[in-house]
Each structure stands twice: as C-alpha cells, then as structure tokens.
Structure 1
Amino acid sequence: MTETDVPDKIPFELTQTDLENLAGGDEKFKPHDWEDLKHIIAENNLEILKRKPSDLRRYITWTNETKTKLPSITDFICSQRLFWNPLPESSPETGPLFDCCGTIPFADPNDYKILMNDWPYGITQDVTHLIVWSKLRLPDQKPEGYLTPESTALVESFVERTFTERLASFEDVNARDSVLWFRNWTGLQSVRGLEHVHVLVKDAPLALLEEWTTTHELGPEAILD
C-alpha cells in the first residue's frame, strides 16, 4: 500500500474530502488557516474540514487497534481520557449515561471536561483545537443530528463566557475574532457515543490553555503499548 492508498479497514465514515485528501498525500496538503476556518464554520460546511493525510492514516490505524483492546472508542475516552464511569443502566441504545450534577449541558463544571483534541484537523500552528466533552446530551434534530436553535444558543453562551470572555480579560486581543466553535452533525462524527463540541482558539496563551484543560497523563497511543 502506498501513502496515497485508502486503508482497507475504515472504522468511521470518510467524507469525499477525506478520500481526495488521502489520494493527494501530504505533499499536496494545505492546512486550514484562521480565515478558512471562519468561512467553513460560518457556512456550516463542516464536511470539508480535513486532517493531514498522514495524521488521518494514523487516526484510522489507532482507532482500529484500540477497538481490539476495548469495546469502543467511547469506552477508551471514558476510561482513559475523561475518567468518567457510565452508570450500570447504560446500554448500546442509550449510550453512556452518567450521574450528573445538573440537568442543563455545560451549566455545572462537574458535568463537562475540556481537553486538547488528540486528533485535530489539519490547521495552522497558530490555532489550538480543543474539545468540550459533556455528560449531558445536547438536544438535536433527528435524523441528521443538527443542533436545535435552543442548543445552539446554549453552546454559544457557554463558549462566550468560558473562552471568549476569559481570553478578552487575559490579553488585549480581539477575543471575539479569536474563538470559533462547531458541533459535527451525526454523519461527520467519528465518536458518536459521547456529546462533544469543538472549540478553536487563535493564538491562545499557554497559561489559558492550561487553565481550560484538565491535566491528563495518558496520550492517545497509551493504550497501544
């Protein structure tokens, strides 16, 4: 298999952009810059977000190998990254259920966790890709999985107070032009069992990243050792 071939075993859906990206290889890859990301998210054209081809191959390989050691990627994230214990009544139909402190997503800090994205999209180095994982599901519109207007407003408010306002108070920057967020609809999600929202921050100070994220020792390949 060459570096431009599509792997035989694909553990999640690939978009047409993914397939074209793999065929082109790293030499033809151009990372998303901030202006590109702003346009993609504003247009809700999320299916054209892409990873560096070699990173996508590593992600595919890691996912396949991890599934030989644990039942699912959701199990890995819960046990190795979030350290959340699903309730016994959780099932494949319900997905993981948790003992929550509140009933509204992102209202109680005990019900969500912010981590660096272990497998970020192919973005320029001035952009940091974070994921906010939530014990509570966001109401969405079936079957596509688009957020409802109420859910969109809820996430917008959370991102504003958690990221934008904090960034604005930390440095003299145009914070409103330095934070973006999106939530993939169901067909684009590689981890569908857990609620999560993507947050992108431009020129994020290290001290703020450390403040936002939860300390965790295990990297994404730790389970493969």
Structure 2
Amino acid sequence: MTSENENVVVHTWEDVKEINPEQLRYRAYRERIKKEYGSLDNYIYQNVLNWPKESSPNDPSLQEYFSSKIPSTHYNLRLNDFPYTIDSSISHYVLWSRLPFRDPNDRNVKDDINLFLKENFPGNEEWLFFINPPQLQSIKNIWHGHIFVRDILNTPNKT
C-alpha cells in the first residue's frame, strides 16, 4: 500500500505472508522504472510498445474496441517480461492494445478472442486469456490482457 503523501510502501501482515522473491524483484524493478521514466506507463510506451504516449488509432474504419480484425499496428503481443510462477511447459504472454477490451466473459467477445489466439498460436496448443481486475493491475492506463499458452503435444500427462 502506498501512502498518498509519500512514496513509501507499507505492507500489511497479509501482504507479507503472500510476498515471494519473485514479487520482491518485480516491485524493486517497478520502483527503479518509476524513478527513471516517471511512471510504468511511460516505460511501457517507450520501451516495450514503441508507441507514442498519446497514441490512439485515428483510422475511422476501426471499431472502438479490440477485436481479431484490428491491424497489428494497434496491438502488441509479446512474452511477459515478468511471467507468473508457472510450469515450464506454459508460456505467459501479454496482449497490449491501443483499443479497450470488451467484457471477455461475453460469449461473442470470447469467440473473437479465441479466433485471435488461434490465428496467433496455430497448431497443437491451448490457451487461456484473462484481464486482471483493476485492483491487481500494475499498469492501469494501457489496455492489456494475459495469455497462457501450452503445447498440448509436449505437455506431460498429469494424473
């Protein structure tokens, strides 16, 4: 928890019980980025996406939400720089978008996301897509969702 008046992070007992070395590395990384770039958003725009900060699509033919039909200049699909602790057979990607996502629980939106994933991850793979709730997002001002992909053929059977 960060105080409004200070840049001091105060962790509750519950926070401390949940902290692991991976989270501590990520938090230290975020603090260094904030000092150097002013915000995580600035860093993401400049170094990850290479989009101007005020980048918004000006193409009137585009819809106002992310879909499988938008040009690749309006999104960036890349491996997560800080993947969650997951099995090594699973890859963790982040889908950054200049356009907002609609409710991924809506059946039509799910179908469209699945079409996008099928086009970008062809073959014998399966995937999961989700958007963190706002309180869990470390980057709040750039639309993004998480994608976990695993190769079905090379995944050991778990019993």
Identity over the aligned pairs, expressed in percent? Answer: 21
Residues 117-171 of structure 1, C-alpha deviation per residue, up to 9 Å, x if partnerless?
Answer: 01111101001000100101235xxxxxxx3755x632x234312323664x53x
Structure with greater proportional strand content: 2
Q: Is the 8 A contact 2:42 2:53 kept in 1?
A: no
- Structure 1 pair 161–66 and aligned structure 2 pair: CA distance change class (3 A): same
- Name the residue aligned to 1:136: 99
SS in 1 for 2:37: coil
Deviation at 1:98, TM superposition (A): 1.4
- Structure 1 pair 149–122 and aligned structure 2 pair: CA distance change class (3 A): closer
- Name the residue aligned to 1:90: none
Q: C-alpha distance in 2, partners of 1:110/1:159?
A: 17
Q: Is the 8 A contact 1:128 1:204 kept in 2?
A: no
Q: Is the 8 A contact 1:181 1:200 kept in 2?
A: yes
Q: Which runs of 5+ in 1 are unaligned?
A: 1-7, 23-52, 88-96, 140-146, 206-225
Are 1:105 and 2:66 counterparts? yes
- Name the residue aligned to 1:47: none
Alignment match of 1:153 (pick from 77, 83, 108): 108
Q: C-alpha distance in 2, partners of 1:199/1:123?
A: 12
Alignment match of 1:186 (pick from 107, 113, 134): 134
RMSD: 2.9
Amino acid across the alignment from 1:125:
S
Deviation at 1:76, TM superposition (A): 0.3
Deviation at 1:57, TM superposition (A): 0.8
Amino acid across the alignment from 1:105:
F
SS in 2 for 1:68: helix
Amino acid across the alignment from 2:26:
Y
What TM-score results when the alignment is normalised by the length of structure 2? 0.74
What TM-score results when the alignment is normalised by the length of structure 1? 0.54
Q: Which runs of 5+ in 2 are unaligned?
A: 1-6, 154-159
Q: C-alpha distance in 1, partners of 2:117/2:141?
A: 25
- Name the residue aligned to 2:44: 77
Q: C-alpha distance in 2, partners of 1:204/1:86?
A: 38
Segments ≥4 residues shifted beyond 3 Å: 8-11, 147-150, 164-167
Aligned length: 141
- Structure 1 pair 118–148 and aligned structure 2 pair: CA distance change class (3 A): closer
